[in-house]
Amino acid sequence: MGGLSSERDISLKSGRAVLNALKDAGWQALSLEVLEETQEEIQRLVREAAVDVVFVAMHGGFGEDGRLQKILEDMRVPFTGPAREASRLAMDKVASRRIFEGAGLRVPRTRVIRRGYRMMSLLHGLRYPVVIKPAAQGSSIGVSFVSHWKELSCAVLKALRYDDTVLVEEFIEGREITVSVLDGTALPIVAIIPKKDFFDFQAKYEKGMTEYVVPAPLEAQVTERARQDAVTAYHALGCRHLARADMILNEEGRAVILEVNTVPGLTETSLLPKAARAAGLEFASLCTKIVELALNS
């Protein structure tokens, strides 16, 4: 847990929650807090601890984009979550959305801006509102909702602080949901109802800013199709063990996939644990299940 990404604090919360849950479940568990994102540091931490399996609770950057996974694979140490290539693809929204489209899934219409390109020529003719986001960030960090062209430059520059590639995507009016997948099976859907206009960083992490309803109050056909889409996205990326697909249900009731998180939030009140609890799996049992999946991979 930890690391140096903009999601460090959230990662520490996830890691501590998982640590406590595993101890409660009878595992001999200890925390490995990453302070340097280097191969040497990861190898040192893992070897000194002499662990049998690593539970990955590092959100963002190094912990989620395949670099940590590659080091652990090279060390032949089992770990939770997808292997390096699936992690890399999921973290890169440009690459993952191409894969989703190839699998027949719906994604937002998007333009891609890369640092150094002539921005305004790429953004000519946009229909507002649009959503601006870094291509490889989580937790809504660097995301802006733009309703007028005058706001565009500032929003793009904000996103470029976090990534060299920025997505400019259509704003889809609809209901926000998330579908967690555990070992290839979709869990009950969580409906996300922010008390402000958009589900941004503040809405995600400030207490009382968002209401979550699980199972989501959706028509049976819509529920089944969204769960199938989440599993399709999970397999298309090559995921394993766990993942969480974030979606918007458009006016037709069809799921539009925004991203798949391979190291989703893992506190007791995070979305995947909420979904697992609705399926009858309490937090300590969920963490145990994930460790067992890693040990048996």
162 noted as active-site residue? no
**Contact (CB, 8 A) for 17 and 274:** no
205 noted as active-site residue? yes
Q: Which string of DSSP letters, residue by residue, matches 182-213? A: ETTEEPPPEEEEESSSS--HHHHHSTTSEEEE
265 noted as active-site residue? yes
Where do runs of H (alpha helix) occur along the chain?
A: 8-24, 39-49, 61-64, 67-75, 84-91, 93-102, 119-122, 152-160, 201-205, 220-237, 271-278, 283-295
Catalytic residue, candidates 11, 87, 96, 139: 139
Catalytic residue, candidates 169, 265, 270, 277: 265
Catalytic residue, candidates 8, 67, 240, 244: 244
3 noted as active-site residue? no
244 noted as active-site residue? yes
161 noted as active-site residue? no
Query: Cα separation of 57 and 265, whole Å?
Result: 8
Catalytic residue, candidates 6, 96, 261, 270: 261
CB atoms within 10 A of CB 267: 18
- Burial class of residue 70, CB neighbours in 10 A (0-12, 13-18, 19+): middle
Query: Cα separation of 224 and 115, whole Å?
Result: 40
User: SS3 helix, strand, coil % of the chain, rounded to 5?
Assistant: 40, 20, 40
Catalytic residue, candidates 175, 259, 270, 277: 259
261 noted as active-site residue? yes
Catalytic residue, candidates 2, 7, 64, 142: 7
Residue positions annotated with a catalytic role: 7, 139, 205, 244, 246, 259, 261, 265
